[in-house]
Amino acid sequence: MELRQLAYFLAVAEERNFTRAAERVAIAQPAISQQIQRLEAELKERLFVRDRRAVTLTPAGEALLPHARSLLLGADRARDAVAELSGLITGRLAIGLVQPLPDRRIIGLLGAFHRDHPAIELSVAEGETDGLLDGVRAGRLDVALIGLGPYDDPPGDLRALVMDREPVVVALHPSSPLARRRTVELAALRDEPMVTLTHASKLRTTLEAACRTAGFAPRIVAESSDLGVVVALAAEQVGVAVLPRSALDGSTGVVRRRLTAPALERRLLLISPASGASPAGRAFDALARRRFPAMSRASSPGRGS
């Protein structure tokens, strides 16, 4: 069993298509099929079910998948460790960013990191907080900037550095009676139709928890995974929206009012593995803590605030 074969197996397993997998690893499609067949012959098990519509894993393939990921990750870590020992940090830094991104200092951090380590390839992915945390735990991401609400505890198994805090506000159509107020209490939204993010977002769980505490359930009339769509729906008078302040930067058609009783906020945390991080990940985490020492002292492994 060769690492190359495991890399091809992982590409097919994730792409569910031999042609796309071959493009991903930059080899000809017949070559990747041949290597998969050799791996199956060595293991004496079929790894994929092939039909015209899709490629799916067999039970043997499902059993091999986590071990293939672990072995390939270990090989990457070994190469990075040797490179680091020679004083030349090379490889790849995979960073995940929650949206919207109010703290632009993370972009400055990426710029500073690139100047310090120009040989490292930067890979940036956007996603929801839970998905980003899964990516860090699985080794797909070296670090991630996530958002947590007041009812969320920082992940106890990862290192956390508080980067910023931003208030949660109410987005209203200008014709709404609530738009005449300087601030809007959460209880005032009891009977208001609301547009919000899906349950994949921490903001949605924060909103529902705050409403429960206030004694009511939010009347959700529309939801989307796209913050821009949520703002646009509020502008079209579909409902009011409760969002991080940065989500309304540059938006038109809505007015922003401060949410009170309770005032909610979103914390932005830089997350990295507590142990076993890649050299690139450790270097980026160290740079962040040097550039934001006050924030660094306020957090520690497993503590976000």
Task: Give pLDDT, residue 59.
Answer: 93
Residue 136 has pLDDT above 60, yes or no: yes
More confident residue, 53 or 8: 8
What mean pLDDT do residues 132-143 have?
Answer: 92
Task: Give pLDDT, residue 296.
Answer: 43
d(CA 223, CA 193): 11
What mean pLDDT do residues 185-203 have?
Answer: 92
Residue 305 has pLDDT above 50, yes or no: no
Task: Give pLDDT, residue 188.
Answer: 96
B/e letters for 192-215, b = 16+ CB within 10 Å, e = fewer, are bebbbbeeebbbbbbbbebbeebe
Per-residue pLDDT reduced to its tens digit, 264-275: 998 889 999 988
Q: How confident is the model at residue 260 (pLDDT cuts 50, 70, 90)?
A: very high
What percentage of the chain exceeds 70 in pLDDT?
Answer: 92
pTM attached to this predicted model: 0.64
Domains in the chain: ranges and CATH: 3-82 (1.10.10.10), 87-164+267-297 (3.40.190.10), 166-266 (3.40.190.290)
Task: Give pLDDT, residue 134.
Answer: 92
d(CA 217, CA 5): 52
Task: Give pLDDT, residue 114.
Answer: 92
> Helices 279-291 and 105-116 sit at what angle, rounded to 10 degrees?
120
**Poorest-pLDDT segment among 78-87, 123-132, 291-300:** 291-300
> Please, what is the average pLDDT of the chain?
87
What mean pLDDT do residues 258-263 have?
Answer: 93
End-to-end CA gap in the chain: 46
Task: Give pLDDT, residue 299.
Answer: 43
Cβ neighbours around 133 below 10 Å, total: 19
What mean pLDDT do residues 131-140 have?
Answer: 91
Task: Give pLDDT, residue 179.
Answer: 94
What mean pLDDT do residues 119-148 have?
Answer: 91
Show the tokens assigned to 238: 């579909």
Residue 213 has pLDDT above 70, yes or no: yes
